[in-house]
Amino acid sequence: MDNPPNQTIYINNLNEKIKKDELKKSLYAIFSQFGNILDIVAMKTLKMRGQAFVAFADIASATNALRSMQGFPFYDKPMRIQYAKSKSDAIAKLQGTYVPREKRPREKKPEEAKKPPVKKVAAPKQQPTRAAPPMAMAP
């Protein structure tokens, strides 16, 4: 499914072993030739690794980048590029249409969800007993 032209391009099939900061710098280096870059978003979470978003100042730059760099080998993997489904936050802020969103609550890991919560049980208090003193103390 093709998304309509957008100032933001979505890139996937990126090498997952590259550190986030290095990935952003490298993406900036190869895509800045196509126009002014407003933002690059790359995350290393399990769901988002190997993917990035590059937000350009105008649609023409994004279109040129998409057409020119499609399949370009980047860290030994051919990039797959398409228009992003929605505007990036950087573009929305620039246009004055940015609306902050609430962060989603983090999902529990499957092994955490299965385990019942551990209840801490206090040890019973010991009552002093009125027993005979130990033999060593007897007169």
128 lies in some domain: no
pTM of the model: 0.65
- pLDDT at position 123: 64
| Domain housing 67 | 8-95
82 and 3 Cβ atoms separated by less than 8 Å: yes
135 lies in some domain: no
29 lies in some domain: yes
Q: What is the mean pLDDT of residues 51-73?
A: 94
pLDDT per residue over 2-38, tens digit each? 788 989 999 999 999 999 999 999 999 999 999 999 9
- pLDDT at position 74: 94
If one counts the domains in the chain, the total is 1
62 and 83 Cβ atoms separated by less than 8 Å: yes
pLDDT per residue over 92-138, tens digit each? 666 666 566 676 676 666 665 566 666 666 666 666 666 666 666 55
131 lies in some domain: no
15 lies in some domain: yes
pLDDT per residue over 63-103, tens digit each? 999 999 999 999 999 999 999 887 676 666 666 665 666 76
83 and 5 Cβ atoms separated by less than 8 Å: yes
